[in-house]
Amino acid sequence: MAKKQFKAESKRLLEMMINSIYTQREIFLRELISNASDAIDKIYYKALTDDQLVFNKDDYFIKITPNKADRTLTITDTGIGMTKEELENNLGVIAKSGSLAFKNEIEAKDGHNIIGQFGVGFYSAFMVADVVTVTSRALGSDEAYQWESKGADGYTITPAEKDTVGTEIVLKIKPNTEEDQYDEFLEEYRLRAIIKKYSDFIRYPIKMDVKTQRPKEGDDNEFEEVQEEQTLNSMVPIWRKNKGELTDADYENFYNEKRYGFDKPLKHIHVKADGAVVYNAILFIPEHTPFDYYTKEYEKGLELYSNGVLIMEKCGDLLPDYFSFVKGMVDSEDLSLNISREMLQHDRQLTLIAKNIKNKIKSALQSMLKDEREKYEKFYQSFGRGLKFGVYNDYGMHKDDLQDLLLFTSSKEKKLVTLDEYVSRMPEDQKYIYYAAGDSIDRLEKLPQTEMVLDKGYEILYFTDDVDEFAIKMLMKYKEKEFKSVSSGDLGIESDADKKENEAEENDNKELFSAMEGILAGKVKSVKASKRLKSHPVCLSAEGEVSIEMEKILKAMPN
Ligand code: ADP
Ligand code: MG
């Protein structure tokens, strides 16, 4: 049988796996178990929608069998199996979610030391094995095939014998070297610990034959060693458990196991709703911006389960665009299983859940802002821009939901403030919320336009993100206070007497002003006298709705 070559990118990933560092190797088991669990899910899902197929829960399990004498570790599942073509397509190339995301991130960073945080998929087997042999028989087929590979140099596929549907993966565990120990992956206690750590919530039993001591029959004082099959995982999915039973680490593990992100979540939200809609959800606010977050490629969505069975991997309808950073899952008994994507959009239950979820996220963010300011600012660094777009988009429809979540850098100590903080410490005579828009805070501080406002003891919000001013225009006011750009014509600071003086000045020097206007024709609309300047002789100001900064951005936009 001719040996086939891996695709180039698979090869790179494989090499990385083979050279991975010690502490990360244990996750191969999480990966293989989660594949096995996915394969059983597929059969379960088929049975739910296909009357011909009966799913008897007891028939479905994952079994782990270490064999020290042969140095093999075998992972068997009774899942849907793979045909010859599927063995070729699924194991011969990296095409799938986890592995692909991993590859992208690795390319962006360069990290041998971040493997453990990823869903790295099937190839992770090569972290601990020299040879991987997969024997599989697909549901509905009476043929079985064997895929075998020694790593980077390719793989073979040959016909094989297998009595039952499902997949068996045999890992030939690497020999110990001076630096690296692999024996532990054949040790019962070690395997048990790894499974508990990563795969406790897998919904099917993960079994292993273990040796235990049992009192000898007829004699309670003497023990004998017996072999007994045990289930190692607790099986209850995390979202069905009570919050009180769960630790932060449990949620973090779940986040990792599910590959919601490559970071640690900043915050989790566990929802158990049993009012008008009944559902469980676990939502996460990630710490870091995904590499494609601010691109068109980024796809928002939550995993959607119907009574414990995954029916959609990314249900976008569950999240508003401005909360598209949220990761997680929703499980509801009220959803029909074989619902199509189009039907889902109109599903009343789903709409209610989405609304409910939106409110949960909003209040979680609000309480983070209130009680965990540092964390919130971290979050805001990553995703604040998205919130501001949220205010601006859809004609400002969501501004009420979002305005209290916004932060801007203030001239006061150059710290981030909320609009509420700004307004509540405004001096009594201050009428407007002042802001200055530009490329950097350094430059904004030097603007002649900011001088008079600061001089009055008023704070200025510095807008350095191009969306800032657009968002604020959409808000128009906050708590009855209008926003005012420091570059606008009338700052609302000059007194009537000041204005009179300006007018007089303009009248007295009519010729000069109109000569200036003539020279600058087409560049400025008019030249006026002003009391706003102190140490600068002149500044630009804008009349009307569109500020100078906005004009720049609008001009730069493709039509
Ligand atoms: P992912 O799980 O993210 O899709 P993997 O590299 O872990 O990526 O697995 C690749 C594919 O191989 C899976 O999507 C699945 O189609 C197939 N596969 C892997 N293990 C099994 C298994 N035990 N039973 C059936 N199919 C499997
Ligand atoms: Mg996988």
Model confidence pLDDT, tens digit, residues 146-155? 999 998 778 9
Q: Is the ipTM of this complex over 0.85?
A: yes
Q: What is the pLDDT of residues 307-318, one digit of tens each?
A: 776 677 789 999
Predicted confidence at residue 555, as pLDDT, reads: 64
The torsion angle over the Cα atoms of residues 154, 159, 160 and 166, rounded to 10 degrees, is: 80
Q: What is the pLDDT of residues 34-62, one digit of tens each?
A: 899 989 988 888 887 788 887 788 899 99
Mutate which of 64, 100, 118, 122 for ligand 1? The one with the most ligand atoms within 8 Å of its CB, which is: 122
DSSP letter assigned to residue 287: S
Of 122-131, 245-254, 335-344, 480-489, least confident by mean pLDDT is 335-344
Instruction: Report how far ligand 1's centroid is from the alpha carbon of 122 (Å).
Output: 7
What is the residue-wise DSSP string for 518-531?
HHTBTTBS-----S
Task: Kindly report the backbone phi and psi dihedral angles of residue 171, in degrees, each rounded to the nearest multiple of 5, phi listed first.
Answer: -105, 125
Is the model's pLDDT at 481 over the cut of 70? Answer: yes
| Angle, CA of 539, 545 and 551, to the nearest 5° | 65
Q: Describe the strand order of the beta sheet including 327-332 as a list of residue ranges.
A: 265-274, 278-286, 327-332, 302-306, 309-315
Instruction: Report how far ligand 2's centroid is from the alpha carbon of 24 (Å).
Output: 16
DSSP letter assigned to residue 4: B
Residue with CA at minimum distance from ligand 1 atom 27: 35
Indicate yes or no: pTM above 0.80.
no
Q: What is the pLDDT of residues 516-527, one digit of tens each?
A: 788 878 777 777
Helix H segments across 258-315?
A: none
Q: How far apart are CA 238 and CA 143, in angstroms?
A: 37
Give the containing element (helix H, strand E) for 553: helix 548-556
Is the model's pLDDT at 558 over the cut of 60? Answer: no
Q: Are 317 and 350 in contact (CB under 8 A)?
A: yes
Residues with CB under 6 A from ligand 1: 31, 35-36, 39, 77, 79-80, 82, 90-91, 96-99, 119, 121-122, 167
Mutate which of 62, 90, 258 for ligand 1? The one with the most ligand atoms within 8 Å of its CB, which is: 90
Q: What is the pLDDT of residues 176-188, one digit of tens each?
A: 998 888 999 999 9
Q: How far apart are CA 435 and CA 446, in angstroms?
A: 14
Q: What is the share, in percent, of the chain residues with pLDDT greater than 90?
A: 48
Predicted confidence at residue 521, as pLDDT, reads: 80
Predicted confidence at residue 91, as pLDDT, reads: 86
Strand partners, 416: 409
Q: What is the pLDDT of residues 101-145, one digit of tens each?
A: 555 655 555 544 455 545 567 888 998 999 999 999 999 999 999
Instruction: Report how far ligand 1's centroid is from the alpha carbon of 435 (Å).
Output: 53
As a whole number, the mean pLDDT across the chain is 85
Predicted confidence at residue 95, as pLDDT, reads: 39
Predicted confidence at residue 96, as pLDDT, reads: 46
Is the model's pLDDT at 402 over the cut of 80? Answer: yes
480: region left, alpha or beta (phi > 0 left; psi from -120 to 50 alpha): left
Q: How far apart are CA 12 and CA 207, in angstroms?
A: 33
Q: Tell me the pLDDT band of 97, cut-offs 50, 70 and 90.
A: very low
Strand partners, 136: 145, 167
Which residues are CB-contacts of 559 (< 8 A; sequence separation ≥ 6)? none
Q: CA 273 → CA 219, 326, 332, distances in Å?
A: 53, 18, 10
Averaged over 291-295, what is the pLDDT?
87
Higher pLDDT, 524 or 384: 384
Of 416-420, 433-437, 486-490, least confident by mean pLDDT is 486-490
